[in-house]
A and B are shown apart, each in its own frame.
Chain A
Amino acid sequence: MAEAKHPEDDEDGVQIDLISAERMDGKTTMEKIRMILDGVRDNNIVILEAGLTPDEESRLIEVTMTEISPDEFNGIEIETYPKSKADDSSLLGRLMGKEETKKLTVIGPANQIETLHKDETLISALVSRK
């Protein structure tokens, strides 16, 4: 976030923004996407406590594509835990409000973050300075 940023951060390390579910609550899809992409385009790593819904993920991909620009922004790397086999994803389950979308999500600039390992309980990523 701009208010938490110090000028020297750009040279000394990588800024990580951990965004709470509470901060995302009540935001529209586009406000969430803007918050994520603004952070990523400042070369920050954005970690969402509650993740995005499938529809929001779909729109994030679409908006990311419109912002890719040669030599400037190559897109994003995004990682969430894969869906657990035990998840109740049936239509009835979702109608009953059982759908579990709250999955910790890590998003960063494609040229700065590389996933080393991912399984249902662990995401291991290598983050580099630009």
Chain B
Amino acid sequence: MGLFAELRQSISDVTASLFSGEADEPKRIGIYGPPNAGKTTLANRIARDWTGDAIGPESHVPHETRRARRKENVEIERDGRTVSIDIVDTPGVTTKVDYEEFLDHDMEKDDAVRRSREATEGVAEAMHWLREDVDGVIYVLDSTEDPFTQVNTMLIGIIESQDLPVLILANKIDLEDSSVQRIRNAFPQHETTELSALEGDNMDEVYDQIAEYFG
């Protein structure tokens, strides 16, 4: 491309970005949380409810999601208006990955080592997305687990330091050991909404919150 052509393209790009109404573009909402919190189940629930398609496979084996997956232009209708978001389902964040953990799930050593390598790459990718490429965060926690973990504390701190809007979801309320109050106590500075992404319980309130936080 010649110098003038490049210049013309640059001017055209700047003009396009100035007049494209960028404020109306879908916000990229990252679904974050520790492994096995139900992030992909939630992402699939949202995607299926509003687009008819799923985002990725769900599994009880940790680190099933090892690449960030994006579903673009998910249009959520609330109170007669439409909120358009891109959903980014991210790998569960952790500070350690031991391949031997996967051997307990009937996996051969080679598969377990490969899965752990992919998992570490996935976590690094998720952190990169969080620093650079998301406009808001849905933080998903398993309400049967203790929320007072270092990963949760650090991630919420990282999200707050970037002034990203964050919606905390207490998932798996269909399970007997669920305690939403424990999550409310752990993060009193944020509102917590309860749900079961698997059963579809309380999704109406979740969509109201998504519209309010990210619309």
Interfacial residues, chain A to chain B (CB-CB below 8 A) = 53-55, 57-59, 61-62, 64-66, 68, 70, 74-80, 82-83, 85, 89, 91, 94, 110-111, 115, 118
Contact = CB atoms under 8 A, between A and B. Distances in A.
B128 interface: yes
Query: 7 tightest A-B contacts by CB?
Result: A75-B96, A110-B96, A54-B161, A65-B124, A65-B120, A54-B158, A62-B127
Interface stretch (B9-17, B19-27, B80-88, B148-156): B148-156
Contact of B150 (A70, A75, A79): A79
B97 interface: yes
B124 A118 contact: no
Contact of B95 (A53, A54, A61, A83): A61
B47 interface: no
28 contacts: A54-B157, A54-B158, A54-B161, A55-B131, A58-B130, A58-B131, A58-B154, A59-B127, A61-B154, A65-B121, A65-B124, A66-B120, A66-B124, A68-B120, A70-B116, A74-B98, A75-B97, A75-B98, A77-B95, A77-B150, A78-B150, A82-B153, A82-B186, A85-B189, A89-B160, A89-B189, A111-B98, A118-B150
B131 A75 contact: no
Interface residues of B, number: 32
Contacts of A91: 163
